[in-house]
Structure 1
Amino acid sequence: MKKDGEEISTQMSILHQTRKESPCSACRGMCKTFEPHAWRKICKSCKCNQEDHSLNSDAEDDRKIGRLLADSKYSNLTARVKGGDGVRIYKRNRMIITNPIVTKKDPTFDTVTYEWAPPGLTQKLAIHYMEFIPKEMQPISGTEGAYYRRRQLMRQLPVYDQDPFQCHALSESEVKSMEELVRKYKSDSLGVGEVALPGQVGSAKDEANQKQKAEATAQFTNGKVAKGKPQDDPASTNGTLAEAQPKNEYHCELCKQAVSTESPVVYGERAGYDRLWHPACFLCTRCSEPLVDLIYFWKSGKLLCGRHYCDSEKSRCIACDELIFSEDYIESKGLTWHKKHFCCVECEQPLLGKSFELEQAKLLCTSCCKSIKKM
């Protein structure tokens, strides 16, 4: 794996580019090709969400996550794109396992490729981690699990929640508001889970951090460095080596069940190393979905995916799926819209000041609603 700062080359595609073959999984083969709506994140043909068509390539996903982690404390998980003017890409860890198949004839090999695996582990521990993930969610290349991962990347970490230039017609003040939100969550909430055996998380990193803190807090007395212990840093209560020291018994933060000291667990540095989770319990508190690639947001003592963290900070337009940075918007029955997007999902008729119906969170004019009910 390349070190932080090294350049890697990659061929990038245009985000949201329409592909010749992108059938909709939700339509069970009825919709063969994605037809992008001008501003809704749906297919014009089948009205399903774009993630149901799984449009992003690996390169697009890696670039999106690279942008998310860049300028954060997790930038070491990214690398510079060759010729990319400072653009960084996610150093996604893949795992390839080759098992010999012994027969009476010449031996053959069974190769399994995981599209993502926790970084920094021995292959044995990484495989052990995967054993705790439901089979249908294991990101094995060519399987439903790999497709599930890519769909979750789009759903949990939409690019328009981090890049104002992927949004539709934001004003200058709205762009600044979004950039401030992104800076805030990168500084205060964004995290990437670490996999280890209980009590064995990141000890080398913690020792290095403690050494740096000791050097930074050493007090000068009469022109000499004091030989006593450095002062305690109140900010070090989360993620210190003392908290990660082995103990007799561990319990999962979510299910509260005991955890074997021989089983891999997930730690979240933002949560503090006194908390840990079973691999299958590292979930978003709001949607109860596994946190894709262990990328989480920590807020008010809870794990959140990127989507639901942003929803806790700003309202989201139910029509275009983007965050609302304007103070002038429409709200009805707990749902919100940009004013310009308050229109019928079928005929696109503006509905501000007109009668409308809400059917399963879809805004309809009375005429389209009647037509649909007759079908």
Structure 2
Amino acid sequence: MEIEKEVKKMTLGHEFGAGASCLKCKDKCEGFELHFWRKICRNCKCGLTEHNVQMISEENKKVGKLFEDTKYTGLIAKLKTDGVSMYRSNAITITLPTPATAHTVLPSTASNAVHHAASSSATVPPATAAASVRPAADFGGAGSRAVAVAVAPLKVTTATASIGSSTADVVPVAQDTPLKSVTYDWAPPVANKYVAVRYIELLPPEKRPVAGSEGATYRRQQMAHQLPEHDQDPAKCHELSPAEVKQMQQYVRKYKDEALGIGDVRLPEDMVLVQAAAGQSGPLGAGAAGGAKAGAVSTRVGLKGAGVGGTGDGATSAGSGTAGGAVGTAASAGAMVALGAQQTGPSQQNFSCHHCKQPMRMGDPAVYAERAGYDKMWHPACFVCCTCNELLVDMIYFWKRGKLYCGRHYGDSEKPRCAGCDELIFSNEYTQAEGQNWHLKHFCCFECDLILAGETYVMEQEKPVCTPCYMNNYAVKCSSCQQSVDPEAQRVSYGDYHWHAAAQCFKCSGCSKCLIGQRFMAVKACLFCSVECKKNSAA
């Protein structure tokens, strides 16, 4: 009964985006008109993402459905009107001191607690549960304003640990400190906004999701490309049989149980304490080599362009704090001793990226994937799909056989994908042609939808086209007779000019001598057998 309901619900939403202008074709497109199964515009052949369509609500519904019945339901909210799950994408405005007054931020486990929140706007001071935090100048005088800092214990999927033994409840910020606000379409859901900002700074500039920027457009396009809604929702597919719907539901259940995950942004230095609390062992919990003394671990995150006592691109330091450096934390040391873990200060070479194998900079955040295990970490810019090498949008990943995939390429690794409709194929019968897979009914002309089984076709831009449509839309014209050149006919091409390989077309413009197999001279569309014929024609 449930499968019959899914079959009845099938629709491609032809009303959505109708008439929207194409950002790629401009005036050449009459407006978006969805092809009834190809998921492209009938007018210009471009996809929905290439058209001026506001898709925020639709994308949030799609990702909301992806996270249904998973451990990530904290990232979605049910609409009261129709009960539809909506993804809370953590669009946020962050207000921080400008780089000239950057704060020293100590990586505390409390400040890195995962905080799944809806879109919000707030002035965020540097949060820490391990030590006091001060801006570049000492603002302890009367001209400062106190800002409360929210601190929560770190939550881990495998174990729960509360590590900070003392809390700085108030952070002094001077009243005349210049502040800067930036709105992000998405930011990693961490409580310490300095860590979130540093994570975004470590992404390529053209991929940073600042609202209204090139990076925001990139994120929107990758959201549509990496997470096709027709890979998870039978209602978005074209004419699935009840058996295919059942197979698709089993496929979706499998990847939700075995592969789907969301990256976790943490400071590697904090993960040492987390693993100590969980009683784990491994590369992150091993501590530093070289006989370093057990004691406090102190690092700082420097915003780009400045930092307390630092220079260049986000200066960092580690060790006991002194003037102009990171403040030492007896609280952290006490917490570590209380946990019974005589940790040594983690050295930089202990932390390396699983993707590029390069070391992690001390104080920079890393991305962890629970399904991969917390002994692996990635630079923010290295958390990419192993197939397309694109950033995993909103850190949504699929883990399979030791590799990270985006949703699209995870699907491709599990099922054949139809080159016609872009859907995964759940039928046992399908066609393979031109190195691609096709539903039997979808191997048809890209222009007129004529089924090509037993028909002659031409591949044009990796799309099959029947002979009549090829002749009308793609065939080159003979420079002599001005007729279209049949795809199976022999022809001669010279630069941008083409001729039928026949005596009546490929001939001297002066004396009409057939030039097939002969030397010739070409002046634009005119052919000559000799200099004399060329001179006579010019006269």
Which bin holds the TM-score, normalised by the shorter protein?
0.7 to 0.9
Alpha carbons 2:353, 2:376 under 8 Å: kept: yes
Shift of the 84–337 alpha-carbon distance from structure 1 to 2, 3 Å rule, reads: same
In 2: Cα distance, 1:71 partner to 1:243 partner: 33
CA shift for structure 1 position 253? 1.1
Task: Say yes or no: does 1:192 pair with 2:294.
Answer: no
Alpha carbons 2:384, 2:405 under 8 Å: kept: yes
Residue 268 of structure 1 aligns with which residue? 369
Between stretches 153-162 and 359-368, larger displacement belongs to 359-368
Alpha carbons 1:23, 1:33 under 8 Å: kept: yes
SS in 1 for 2:253: helix
Shift of the 15–113 alpha-carbon distance from structure 1 to 2, 3 Å rule, reads: farther
Task: Say yes or no: does 1:121 pair with 2:118.
Answer: no
Between stretches 277-286 and 192-201, larger displacement belongs to 192-201
Residue 89 of structure 2 aligns with which residue? 92
| Unpaired stretches in structure 2, ≥5 consecutive residues | 1-11, 99-176, 288-345, 478-539
Shift of the 294–277 alpha-carbon distance from structure 1 to 2, 3 Å rule, reads: same
In 2: Cα distance, 1:126 partner to 1:89 partner: 23
Alpha carbons 1:23, 1:53 under 8 Å: kept: yes
Residue 389 of structure 2 aligns with which residue? 288
Between stretches 321-330 and 49-58, larger displacement belongs to 49-58
> Which structure carries more helix by proportion?
1
Residue 324 of structure 1 aligns with which residue? 425
| Unpaired stretches in structure 1, ≥5 consecutive residues | 1-13, 102-106, 212-239
Q: Deviations over 1:146-196 (max 9, x none)?
A: 111111111000111000011011010000000000000000000100111
Between stretches 183-192 and 195-204, larger displacement belongs to 195-204
How much identity, in percent, do the aligned residues show?
A: 46
Q: Which amino acid aligns with 1:267?
A: Y
Shift of the 76–25 alpha-carbon distance from structure 1 to 2, 3 Å rule, reads: same
The equivalences for 1:15-164 within 5 A come to 17-19=15-17, 22-27=20-25, 30-31=28-29, 33-53=31-51, 55=53, 57-85=55-83, 87-98=84-95, 111-164=181-234
Q: Which amino acid aligns with 2:371?
A: R
Q: Deviations over 1:263-319 (max 9, x none)?
A: 111111111111111111111000111100000000111100000001111111111
Task: Say yes or no: does 1:168 pair with 2:238.
Answer: yes
Alpha carbons 2:19, 2:33 under 8 Å: kept: no
CA shift for structure 1 position 20? 6.2
In 1: Cα distance, 2:415 partner to 2:366 partner: 32
Shift of the 108–258 alpha-carbon distance from structure 1 to 2, 3 Å rule, reads: closer
The equivalences for 1:224-243 within 5 A come to none
Alpha carbons 2:282, 2:375 under 8 Å: kept: no
Residue 164 of structure 2 aligns with which residue? none
Shift of the 342–332 alpha-carbon distance from structure 1 to 2, 3 Å rule, reads: same
Shift of the 360–146 alpha-carbon distance from structure 1 to 2, 3 Å rule, reads: same
Q: Which amino acid aligns with 2:460?
A: E
Task: Say yes or no: does 1:352 pair with 2:453.
Answer: yes
In 1: Cα distance, 2:179 partner to 2:283 partner: 44
In 2: Cα distance, 1:284 partner to 1:88 partner: 26
In 1: Cα distance, 2:351 partner to 2:367 partner: 12
CA shift for structure 1 position 61? 1.3
Residue 11 of structure 1 aligns with which residue? none
In 1: Cα distance, 2:194 partner to 2:438 partner: 49
Alpha carbons 2:18, 2:34 under 8 Å: kept: no
Shift of the 161–302 alpha-carbon distance from structure 1 to 2, 3 Å rule, reads: same
Shift of the 362–20 alpha-carbon distance from structure 1 to 2, 3 Å rule, reads: closer
Instruction: Return the TM-score normalized by structure 1.
Output: 0.80
CA shift for structure 1 position 199? 4.2
In 2: Cα distance, 1:350 partner to 1:282 partner: 42
State the number of aligned residues.
328
Between stretches 130-139 and 180-189, larger displacement belongs to 130-139
SS in 1 for 2:475: helix
Q: Which amino acid aligns with 1:57?
A: M
Alpha carbons 2:443, 2:453 under 8 Å: kept: yes
CA shift for structure 1 position 325? 0.7
Shift of the 109–69 alpha-carbon distance from structure 1 to 2, 3 Å rule, reads: same
In 1: Cα distance, 2:428 partner to 2:272 partner: 44
In 2: Cα distance, 1:23 partner to 1:292 partner: 26
CA RMSD, aligned part only? 2.8
Alpha carbons 1:252, 1:275 under 8 Å: kept: yes
CA shift for structure 1 position 205? 10
Q: Which amino acid aligns with 1:373?
A: A
In 2: Cα distance, 1:62 partner to 1:201 partner: 31
Q: Deviations over 1:23-69 (max 9, x none)?
A: 33333564362111111111111111222226352221111111101
Shift of the 64–354 alpha-carbon distance from structure 1 to 2, 3 Å rule, reads: same
Q: Which amino acid aligns with 1:76?
A: G
Structure possessing the higher radius of gyration over alpha carbons = 2
SS in 1 for 2:437: strand
Residue 365 of structure 1 aligns with which residue? 466
Between stretches 355-364 and 112-121, larger displacement belongs to 355-364
SS in 2 for 1:141: coil
SS in 2 for 1:251: coil
SS in 2 for 1:181: helix
In 1: Cα distance, 2:180 partner to 2:19 partner: 29
Q: Deviations over 1:329-350 (max 9, x none)?
A: 1101320111111111012211
CA shift for structure 1 position 324? 0.7
